[in-house]
Amino acid sequence: MLTAVIATRYVTPLREGGSLPGLMEADDLGTYVVKWRAAGQGVKVLVAEVVCGELARALDLPVPRLVTVDVAPELAVGEPDVEVQELLQRSAGRNLGLDYLPGALDFEAGADGVDPGLAGRVLWFDALVGNVDRSWRNPNMLFWHGGLQLIDHGAALTFHHNWPGARAAVGRPYDASAHALIECEPDVPAADAAL
């Protein structure tokens, strides 16, 4: 069960990705990257975020803490960008928050510092959930306090957007050729044995 928090202040939009997530402060004194229920890709993307994020955590992979964030439409008033303001108003109610990691750096494919064991576990996990969005062009990983953090699992579990085709989708082989960690010599056999 995810912890529920109430948004107390809208800080700023994050202009990365198509869903325009926002940075918000909450009643638990935490700061969260909030993904909106009314964003273009809809609630199913948030479902994939929760399922994959919590599965990754259960597999001892590094992911930011997830919470639900209750957002009041009044918090949108101070946002000068009309598009963002409307998105916040349409997203009133429960949304998904990821713990904000201040000072985190974007992962760059080919970067040193990712152990082959961890790289293998991440690649194994991405194959399991069908995550097509951890490529060298868009790695969806951060370095924070010297360690890797996996973010943005909205493009995983794509079968749940088309249930009649789910059986065929999960049977397709995973193409890891463009995976962001492929140059780290991921130890997938060890991950397969351990996970």
pLDDT in tens, 167-184: 777 778 899 999 999 999
Considering the domain architecture, whether residues 141 and 186 belong to the same structural domain is answered as yes
Domain containing 63: what range? 3-99
Considering the domain architecture, whether residues 19 and 83 belong to the same structural domain is answered as yes
The answer to whether residue 165 scores a pLDDT higher than 80 is: no
Of 40, 182, 34, whose CA–CA distance to 122 is shortest? 182
Q: How many residues does the chain have?
A: 195
Average pLDDT (27-38) is: 97
Considering the domain architecture, whether residues 57 and 72 belong to the same structural domain is answered as yes
Count CB neighbours of 77 within 10 A: 10
**pLDDT band, very low/low/confident/very high, at 17 (cuts 50, 70, 90):** low
Considering the domain architecture, whether residues 65 and 18 belong to the same structural domain is answered as yes
137/97: higher pLDDT: 97
- What total of structural domains would you count in the chain? 2
Considering the domain architecture, whether residues 41 and 95 belong to the same structural domain is answered as yes
Considering the domain architecture, whether residues 129 and 85 belong to the same structural domain is answered as no
Considering the domain architecture, whether residues 66 and 143 belong to the same structural domain is answered as no
Query: Which helix (H) or strand (E) element contains residue 194?
Result: helix 188-194
Name the domain boundary from 99, 134, 158.
99
Considering the domain architecture, whether residues 31 and 59 belong to the same structural domain is answered as yes
What pTM does this model have? 0.91
The answer to whether residue 163 scores a pLDDT higher than 70 is: no
- What is the average pLDDT score of the chain? 92
